[in-house]
Amino acid sequence: MKLMLDSPKEDNLVPFLVSLTKLASRSTHLASELAEVIIPFLGEDKTSHARAAVLRCLHFLIERGMCFSLAHERDIASVSSLLKQEELSSDMQVKALQIFQKIVVYKLCMTDASELLQLIAITENASHSQIFSSSCLAISVLVSIWTEIVRTAEKRSIEISSTSLPMQLVVLIMDRVALLGRLCSDLFRAGYAVVSEVQDLLKVLHLLVGKHSELRLLVLEKVRLFLTYIVSLNDGLRKADGAHELLFGVINYKDKRGVVMRSEFLASIHKFLIVFLENLEGDDNLLSEIYEKEIQAYHLLLI
């Protein structure tokens, strides 16, 4: 380690890191010592090349069960801060998020109320990273982290209702869904991969709302706005008698691929709303309010 730190050239860092990481993966003491030495290389004063190399090494250690070596709050904060370093590639940011997830899950096994609230604050701060506006995987990982936090809080009867993270997650998911909806109006970008991502996001949304029933009205409002936009894209396809081309299957699949994709979108939203309605439960006032919005959203699908 001394040779690595004393080396004046950054090019020497990577081979040193590779060798030391392989050794550290076999020794709990060495793993902790290595983590302490290389964490400072994640700072913004270091090059993106150096930070990427350190991330790969940390990921290697984490995958081999060395989470304990990064369980200190300062290390968790250092890893999560990478999510806001925009000069890092999206792949590296996702890798940092996955490392962060492993550390948090490990930390939750032994955290107390104060530490749990600190983890929530770090997670909430990390949720504002731009990576979540462009990656379904990143959103899924973040929701998974929050789910683990909620599970731990429930087991230990720790109050965490003051955080705005669940609402932030709903906004992230629906903003991403709306962005993908706009892509469906682009002939060259519309495709089943886009629809598949929307379906995955809606599954994650179901999971989130299942834990936070108070978010249902927000979700429905976001869905309504999304459907209004999608329906407006289809208005130009109506026939003179008011019928819609989609209903008669007279679509040129080559020239109107975007229309087909929007149809798939609507089908996905339709399924989401059906399951959403089936899972409604709670006090009558909330149920009535949600039902009214549900009917409004459902009618948009029939326009």
pLDDT value, residue 184: 65
Query: Residue written as tokens 């039902």?
Result: 291
Reported confidence tier of residue 299, pLDDT bands at 50, 70, 90: low
Handedness of CA 96, 94, 86, 54 (dihedral sign): positive
The 3-state DSSP class for residue 238 equals strand
Count of CB atoms within 10 A of residue 29's CB?
Answer: 9
Residues 6+ apart with CB under 8 A from 55: 42, 82, 92, 95, 96, 99
The pLDDT of 255-269, averaged and rounded, is: 71
Task: Report the pLDDT value the prediction gives residue 65, as an integer from 0 to 100.
Answer: 78
- Compute, in degrees rounded to 10, the torsion defined by CA atoms 87, 88, 94, 100: -100
Q: What is the pLDDT of the chain when averaged over all its residues?
A: 78
pLDDT score, position 288: 73
Measured distance between the N- and C-terminal CA atoms of the chain, rounded to whole angstroms: 67
pLDDT of 253 > 50? The answer is: no
Better pLDDT: 235 or 221 = 221
Alpha carbons 205 and 219: distance in angstroms, whole number: 9
In angstroms, rounded to a whole number, what is the distance separating the alpha carbons of residues 260 and 169?
29
The pLDDT value given to residue 213? 76
Q: Could you tell me the CA-to-CA distances from 84 to 37, 53, 119, 298 in Å, in that order?
A: 22, 18, 17, 38
Partnered with residue 238 across adjacent β-strands are: 244
Strand, helix or coil for residue 244: strand
> Which pLDDT band, with edges at 50, 70 and 90, does 68 fall under?
low
Find residue 244's DSSP bridge partners: 238
Cα distance between residue 175 and residue 172, in whole Å: 5
136, pLDDT greater than 80: yes
CB 173 within 8 A of CB 139: yes
99-117: average pLDDT: 88
pLDDT of 42 reads: 82
If one compares 190 and 22, the residue with the highest pLDDT of the two is: 22
The stretches of the chain forming alpha helices (DSSP H) are 2-6, 13-24, 28-38, 48-63, 73-81, 90-108, 113-126, 136-155, 165-183, 192-211, 216-234, 245-248, 257-278, 284-302
Categorize the per-residue pLDDT at 97 as very low, low, confident or very high, splitting at 50, 70 and 90.
very high
pLDDT band at 265 (very low <50, low <70, confident <90, very high): confident
How far is 234 from 236, CA to CA, in rounded Å? 5
Say yes or no to pLDDT of 37 above 50. Answer: yes
The C-alpha atoms of residue 179 and residue 206 are separated, in whole angstroms, by: 19
Taking residue 286's Cβ as centre, other Cβ atoms within 10 Å add up to 15
Residue 67 has pLDDT above 50, yes or no: yes
Tell me which DSSP letter residue 246 carries: H
